[in-house]
Structure 1
Amino acid sequence: MKRLTRRETLGLLSAGVTFGAAPAFGLSGPPFLTDAIMAGDMPEMSARLPKVPRVIDTAALGGVPGRYGGEVRMLVGSQKDVRVMPILGYSRLVGYDREFNFVPDILQEFDVQEGRIFTFVLREGHRWSDGTPFTTEDLRYSFEDVMMHGELPGVPLEMKPDEEIPTVEVIDEVTIRYSWTVANPEFLPSLAAPVPPRIVLPAAYMKQFHQAYQDQATLDAHVVEQRVDHWRALHTKMSRQNRPENPDLPTLEPWRPRTAPPAQQYVFERNPYFHRVDERGQQLPYVDRYLLNVSSYEVIPAKVAAGDADLQYRTITFGHYTVLKEAEKRHPVKVSLWRQSAGSRLALYPNMTCADPVWRTMFQDVRVRRALSLAIDRDELNQALFFGLCQKSANTVLPESPLYKPEYARSYVDYDPDQANRLLDEAGFTAAGADGLRKLPDGNVAGILIETAGESSLETDALELVGDHFRRVGIELWTRSSQRDIFRSRVLAGEVVMSIWAGLDNGVPSADMSPRELAPTTDDQLQWPIWGVNYLSSGAQGEAPTLPEVQRLVELMNAWKVSESKDQREAIWAEMLQIHADQVFSIGTVNQAPQPILHAADLRNIPESGLFGYHPTSNLGIYNPDQFWLDREDTSNG
């Protein structure tokens, strides 16, 4: 095969990265690893780093070079929440910087030609957390031996534009090329996502669980030991990167898991071979360990206020802000207010594919969706829950997005019960009776059971207000709380008529980010899960959308997936956002909500303010938590 020239592989270099002057690699590195080095279990820092590490300029990011050591405690609501660590660590082949530009991270360089040919150059000398070399064999194995196997998880949708599977060429140990005959604008955004597609697996470790590389007797023994049914389930279980429950699975993240479930505390220790350094040449991360302590969602805010966390951003809301600020007087903690990047802090999702035939018909009528939106008094909700600090808005993009238009945010959000009543009359609801309630066309009371995952008191408080608003237009509202897994299963089964959740994950998109959230593309979209299943399965399961406007969204999504220019992508985004503004597929409330971020008072380099969300910020991921550090003298010895 032809070897790429440096000109061919030259890509964008990471923000905050300087390669003009070599960092001082003679520095000693983390004291936490001294015993292992002295015992001969691992080499000195200079031998653990890639030849060209990624340099994080802490000063350019508004911080200062830090000191090694210490532990950071976080509280989580369940064992499954260990998945927050790879989101927080945010080590990606290609990631976003703080301005949401694509930058190479694990990769040293990348090059894109014609929007369809992607050439990746790895960092020479980079190693997995167990010290084994990280090479293009790890990408080849993931593609050829896993995705293309037939019995293991297949090629993800983000790598199948127009249903085309890529051609993958291994050029050498550090260079690999993915190419399609059509453009694939979704590839890079998917790699920069909070949960990226698994195009990299530690081949040297995973081959022991693969039928092509392991004898059957040994595989059978592994199957019994791991309590799974067959080698395919074994391979899947042992390779989970986004849910790091296997302490033996090598990682490229800044912290590696050290605890197998079940447990009440999950320990993550520094990755000795992590590929980033600060401007002095000291290997990152600064913090030695993260301790994830399992509690219940209901008591986490109280425990945080009692000083049981050194960093907390999950399971606390603005409703807890006062008690958290009071905690500053009793404990060495600091609370900052960031802004949420979701399209809506809370949104209602009428399930247009629910099993209830009457509500399914009613929710597919745009007049009903508009009426329910107009019935909500967002000013009252904003004042009662957020002291007026939010902006009333549809579930749409924020002003920080280059795609934002004020008319998207204003669509059907002004409180107008008279117009809501007229729309409900037109849609076939009976007039309100003596009890103040309308009836459905089948004669039953017009009551909506709205379900939640039971993880937020804010949802309960909001639904009390919304229930009052709906009753003013003759609609009764009941609520039911359950656990997240049960809730998601009920949604997929069509048993949930309406639900409440956060709005668009990505409220600050650019045209180069996927508009997947705006079309039925997955089975976890609460307003149309059955249509999402249909898209996800390429028509093999679920049901195809019946509404023309939703069919158009699918057409536009497919057009974006093979678009060749930014102008095309901007036009597609604009039409999709306009359809959502007009059709009210989800009912937004307010956005730009304040989000408390609590951290130890001596945790440095954490910004005073920022955007907080799932995508594209990956919670705190784009703010480089590997360069947070504890300003304590007693941390330096690890």
Structure 2
Amino acid sequence: MKRLLLSSAALFAFSGAAMAACPAVTVADPMGVAAGAYPQQYELAEIQSLADCTMEFSENPDIAALNSRIRGNPEVPALADRLPSEPLVVAPYEMIGNYGGMFNALSNATEAGTSDFMSVRHVNLVRYADDLTTIVPNVAKSWSWNDDFTQLTFVLREGHKWSDGQPFGAEDVEFWYENLALDPNVIESPKDYVLAGGEPMTVDVIDAQTVRFNMPSPKPGFLAHFANHYAQGFQPKHFLGQFHPAINPDADALAQAAGFESGYDVVKAYYGSSDWMDTPTPMLSHPDKVANLPLDAAPTLESHIVISETTEGRQFVANPYFYMVDTAGNQLPYINEMDEIFVGESEVRLLKLVNGEVDYKAQALQIDYVPLLLENQEKGGFVVDLKPDITMPTFAFNVTSDDLEKRKVFGDLRFRQAMSVAMNRDEINEVAMFGLGEPQQYIGFSPTPSFVPAEWEQHYAQFDPDMANSLLDEVGMVDTDGDGMRELPNGDKLTLNLQVATQGMSIKIVELVGQNWRDVGIDNTVKEVTTDEYRSAQSSNQLDVTMYEKSVPLAVVLGNAEIFIPPFDNYFNMRTAMLWGEYVQSEGTAGVKPPEYVYEMMEDIKAFQATPVGTPESDALGLKLVENMTGNLLFIGTVKEQKPIYFSSSLKNTTPFKTASYAYYRTYPYRPSQWFLTE
């Protein structure tokens, strides 16, 4: 391992530090060094002060070779010119790791089932520590609020660089917000999380490393958004800006020289049009034009950068300019390369896991896979851990169905109540979840906040087929042709098409619910589809019933109001009432007008986000949100479940997760940049 003492007064300087090298502190062995201000990490000056040391820095001996595989990158400079002068110092869980190795990842498709692997290399301004409570610095060195939570200021790391060696700073945050998140030529309409009270913020560049968000109304949950969301609060202005017409007046001409119609087309080729982190790069979206562009993928701050992409998968190499070091001064990440393959068939994915061909996996692993995985742990060289999931399998009837007769029925609360009490949640728990789950109604929040009375968790969640039959009779659904299945009130036959993406929930659960519904006379068929097929059909209003795992923690709701605004989430998650969403987004020029309680939720979520959490006012608003959402059974919950988490035995410095869910962005709290491989 090549070692380098960086002693320049301008770089890594620390007044009065002793010349002894810093101790290799780990979480397992703190070596007598006190904890820093934040758990399991230090600022450079902080650890040097606490340990009375001067940190020596080392680089990956393969970094020049890895850098040479990043098209467009200059020759790799010395480590002193790659690390920030204020690197983030990370305490590994168990030990100082070894460089090298190939991390094998498994996803469903280019934009399906990828968030698990995305989280392994992900960075953002801040993150949650592994207690899932404490927000800690990450890309940002520090932050501060004003008194009324209308201004959030971030201080970035001096000397931080993008993966191509160009400086990173406050203008990259401003560029992301002003020129991507709010530009309708890039993203058609701004996402809720970049708004406060439904209105845009403004961004001030105070200096090269200081940036401030100014909000039209208080939004104390905005910080938490950056701690758990995939969308990063920065993008490379020096690179994407050259193609952005608002930044460069020659952007269109530059784009046309590369074979594109406009600069915006190039921006979207690199960044996408939805802010999803795994938007296809030009290597996949424009393979005939990528050679005309300066880079295969936009520069990143993540631990690894993509260097190859096809419909079969993606390959990544370590970022030579990554801003983290371990407590021994080794630049992270330890892992040299990452290989992500796409497999759409759940049976094939499971086979690859059983054979030990994957290093880590949690997304799209259902609890019914557990017996086979446990049986093959030793032979396959992996371990499986069961952890509670914040989300739960949830169903929603399409209250804005294009079929007006179905819309009348699905929009009748009595029908939704009937379909909820027709579910045998205890049977679902025993048969599909081995008795490890907790039957519960969907209430939006998970875990249940203290302001929600326990009875809402069981609202119409009892198994009562007699009540279901009585309610369906009241709706006017009777069996007119004697086949045992109820028809719509106008006599039309009803067969629910239950399309399930196994990334979203276990097909076994859908089959059990389908049988429960047939038992009260509601005919249905169950069909497994790909995640892309499901998302497309859901968002185009084609499904009778949407189904996916759903529920989010209070911290997420404080920063992102999507689950209380129609269609009640984004494209990648579970939605319903698409035409209500269209009406709201078009301000009444298209779609279907929602009922009054939906408008109440929209106003209440704005007020809830603007009110300090834990106050009586906040609690009252939160309870009202639950009363409207759960009282109207827009979403019908089943059972909070346990989920498997899969680790290769050769993957080191892992730690047991507290939850298997997406809510805190999967692996992000557990610092994957300090993972390493022994084989």
- Conserved? CA contact 1:612–1:620, under 8 Å: no
Q: Percent identity?
A: 25
Per-residue CA deviation, residues 23-70 of structure 1 (Å, 9 max, x unaligned), is 7542322222155799992233343222222222234xxx33322221
- Conserved? CA contact 1:365–1:427, under 8 Å: yes
Separation in structure 2 between the aligned mates of residue 400 and residue 144 of structure 1, nearest angstrom: 36
Q: 2:40 is matched by which residue type in structure 1? A: G
- Which residue does 1:179 correspond to in 2? 214
Partner secondary structure for residue 58 of structure 2: coil
Deviation at 1:282, TM superposition (A): 2.1
Verify: 1:272 aligned to 2:307, yes or no: no
Deviation at 1:256, TM superposition (A): 0.9
- Conserved? CA contact 1:25–1:46, under 8 Å: no
Deviation at 1:133, TM superposition (A): 0.5
Q: Is the alpha carbon distance of 1:40 and 1:140 closer, same or farther for their aligned partners in structure 2, counting shifts above 3 Å? A: closer
Q: Is the alpha carbon distance of 1:215 and 1:598 closer, same or farther for their aligned partners in structure 2, counting shifts above 3 Å? A: closer
- Which residue does 1:27 correspond to in 2? 57
Unaligned 5+ segments in structure 2 are 1-35, 282-295
Q: 2:462 aligns with which of 414, 417, 429?
A: 414
Q: 1:92 aligns with which of 112, 115, 124?
A: 124
Q: 1:555 is matched by which residue type in structure 2? A: E
Q: Is the alpha carbon distance of 1:417 and 1:45 closer, same or farther for their aligned partners in structure 2, counting shifts above 3 Å? A: same
Deviation at 1:294, TM superposition (A): 2.2
Per-residue CA deviation, residues 264-313 of structure 1 (Å, 9 max, x unaligned), is 24111111211222222322222222110222333110111112112122
Partner secondary structure for residue 41 of structure 2: coil
- Which residue does 1:495 correspond to in 2? 542
- Which residue does 2:562 correspond to in 1? 516
Per-residue CA deviation, residues 346-404 of structure 1 (Å, 9 max, x unaligned), is 21111111111122111221111111010011111111111111111112344475555
Partner secondary structure for residue 611 of structure 1: coil
Mean Cα deviation higher: 180-189 or 289-298: 180-189
Q: Is the alpha carbon distance of 1:494 and 1:447 closer, same or farther for their aligned partners in structure 2, counting shifts above 3 Å? A: same
Partner secondary structure for residue 376 of structure 2: helix
- Conserved? CA contact 1:522–1:533, under 8 Å: no
- Which residue does 2:4 correspond to in 1? none
Partner secondary structure for residue 383 of structure 2: strand
1:413-452 equivalence runs, <5 A: 413-430=461-478, 434-452=482-500
Separation in structure 2 between the aligned mates of residue 540 and residue 183 of structure 1, nearest angstrom: 30
Q: 1:41 aligns with which of 54, 63, 75?
A: 75
1:331-480 equivalence runs, <5 A: 331-342=380-391, 344=392, 346-396=393-443, 397-399=445-447, 401-402=449-450, 405-430=453-478, 434-453=482-501, 455=503, 459-480=506-527
- Which residue does 2:7 correspond to in 1? none
Deviation at 1:103, TM superposition (A): 2.4
Separation in structure 1 between the aligned mates of residue 529 and residue 678 of structure 2, nearest angstrom: 41
Separation in structure 1 between the aligned mates of residue 649 and residue 656 of structure 2, nearest angstrom: 12
Separation in structure 2 between the aligned mates of residue 149 and residue 306 of structure 1, nearest angstrom: 46
Q: 2:320 is matched by which residue type in structure 1? A: P
Per-residue CA deviation, residues 405-449 of structure 1 (Å, 9 max, x unaligned), is 432221211211111112112222226764322222101234322
Deviation at 1:561, TM superposition (A): 4.1
Q: 1:69 is matched by which residue type in structure 2? A: G
Deviation at 1:111, TM superposition (A): 0.7
- Which residue does 2:653 correspond to in 1? 605
Q: Is the alpha carbon distance of 1:347 and 1:147 closer, same or farther for their aligned partners in structure 2, counting shifts above 3 Å? A: closer
Verify: 1:252 aligned to 2:301, yes or no: yes
Deviation at 1:620, TM superposition (A): 1.7
Deviation at 1:480, TM superposition (A): 3.6
- Conserved? CA contact 2:58–2:331, under 8 Å: no
Separation in structure 2 between the aligned mates of residue 583 and residue 479 of structure 1, nearest angstrom: 25
- Which residue does 2:193 correspond to in 1? 158
Q: 2:563 is matched by which residue type in structure 1? A: E
Q: 2:344 aligns with which of 296, 300, 303?
A: 296
Q: Is the alpha carbon distance of 1:268 and 1:536 closer, same or farther for their aligned partners in structure 2, counting shifts above 3 Å? A: farther
Deviation at 1:149, TM superposition (A): 5.4
Separation in structure 2 between the aligned mates of residue 404 and residue 90 of structure 1, nearest angstrom: 33
Q: Is the alpha carbon distance of 1:176 and 1:625 closer, same or farther for their aligned partners in structure 2, counting shifts above 3 Å? A: same
Separation in structure 2 between the aligned mates of residue 72 and residue 37 of structure 1, nearest angstrom: 17
Partner secondary structure for residue 594 of structure 2: coil
Verify: 1:169 aligned to 2:204, yes or no: yes
Mean Cα deviation higher: 36-45 or 419-428: 36-45
Deviation at 1:564, TM superposition (A): 5.3
- Which residue does 2:365 correspond to in 1? 316
- Which residue does 1:6 correspond to in 2? none
Q: 1:584 aligns with which of 613, 633, 638?
A: 633
Separation in structure 2 between the aligned mates of residue 321 and residue 142 of structure 1, nearest angstrom: 41
Q: CA RMSD in A?
A: 2.8
Q: Is the alpha carbon distance of 1:136 and 1:407 closer, same or farther for their aligned partners in structure 2, counting shifts above 3 Å? A: same
Q: Is the alpha carbon distance of 1:24 and 1:401 closer, same or farther for their aligned partners in structure 2, counting shifts above 3 Å? A: farther
Separation in structure 2 between the aligned mates of residue 469 and residue 37 of structure 1, nearest angstrom: 57
Separation in structure 1 between the aligned mates of residue 447 and residue 350 of structure 2, nearest angstrom: 30
- Conserved? CA contact 2:105–2:117, under 8 Å: no
Separation in structure 2 between the aligned mates of residue 388 and residue 311 of structure 1, nearest angstrom: 26
Deviation at 1:511, TM superposition (A): 6.8
Separation in structure 2 between the aligned mates of residue 128 and residue 576 of structure 1, nearest angstrom: 42
- Conserved? CA contact 2:422–2:464, under 8 Å: yes
Separation in structure 2 between the aligned mates of residue 510 and residue 73 of structure 1, nearest angstrom: 30
Q: 1:78 aligns with which of 105, 109, 112?
A: 109
- Which residue does 1:5 correspond to in 2? none
